[in-house]
Amino acid sequence: KVESASDNAAYWSIATTMRSDNKALGAVEDAIGLGAAKTDTASTGMESAISVVSDIKAKLVAAREPGVDKEKINKELAELKNQLGSVAKSASFNGENWLYDNSDTTGTTQEMVGSFVRGSDGNVSIKTISFDTTNSILINDEAAAGGLLTKDTLATYAYGTTTTTASYYLISSVAGDATSNEVTLTTTT
């Protein structure tokens, strides 16, 4: 049994390094768990948002039918948009939200611990995984262009023999957008 360097210096050194690595691996495992929880929270929120957007799409398609009450459908759309806002705002874990932003930026890069590496030279490094939230922010209340659902989208639509192109957004951000129109229904649309 090697209990000190005087018993067998090489084995003692290896054992000491392994004990140290074992503690570091435990910390890395915890950090990876936090990263997984963040991504799971964002993924669950995104799946919920996709479901709500599908419901909105179905309502808009139904509104094209003659004789439907478009004002009633518009109220349902407003409720679904509020639901999207709630989904995005509640997708927060450990102080990070990858679906909602209320800053004037357009997303940030989030770093998560990905691995523990001991190189052939004996040096230890922690590798990280980066995620750019520009690709996942659904609603940005301060910079409308920073949210997938608050930014302008150019749409071309046909009504009878007329084709029209316009810029729309699905959800109004707090900052607003004077150059586009929010997707809504009235008796004349």
List, in order of start, the domains of the chain with CATH numbers. 9-182 (1.20.1330)
Instruction: Count H helices and E strands in the chain, helices first.
Output: 2, 9
Residue 106 has what pLDDT? 75
Residue 75 has what pLDDT? 97
Burial of 146 (0-12, 13-18, 19+ CB in 10 A): buried
Instruction: Give the model confidence (pLDDT) of 5-58 as tens digits.
Output: 566 677 767 777 777 777 878 888 899 999 999 999 999 999 999 999 999 999
Residue 56 has what pLDDT? 97
What is the pLDDT confidence band of residue 144, given thresholds at 50, 70 and 90? confident
pTM: 0.80
Residue 178 has what pLDDT? 62
Q: What's the CA gap between 166 and 157, in Å, rounded?
A: 8
What is the pLDDT confidence band of residue 133, given thresholds at 50, 70 and 90? very high
Q: What's the CA gap between 154 and 172, in Å, rounded?
A: 16
Instruction: Give the model confidence (pLDDT) of 65-117 as tens digits.
Output: 999 999 999 999 999 999 999 999 999 999 999 999 988 877 789 999 998 88
User: Which residues does 118 contact at the CB level (< 8 Å), separation at least 6?
Assistant: 21, 124
Q: What's the CA gap between 123 and 49, in Å, rounded?
A: 44
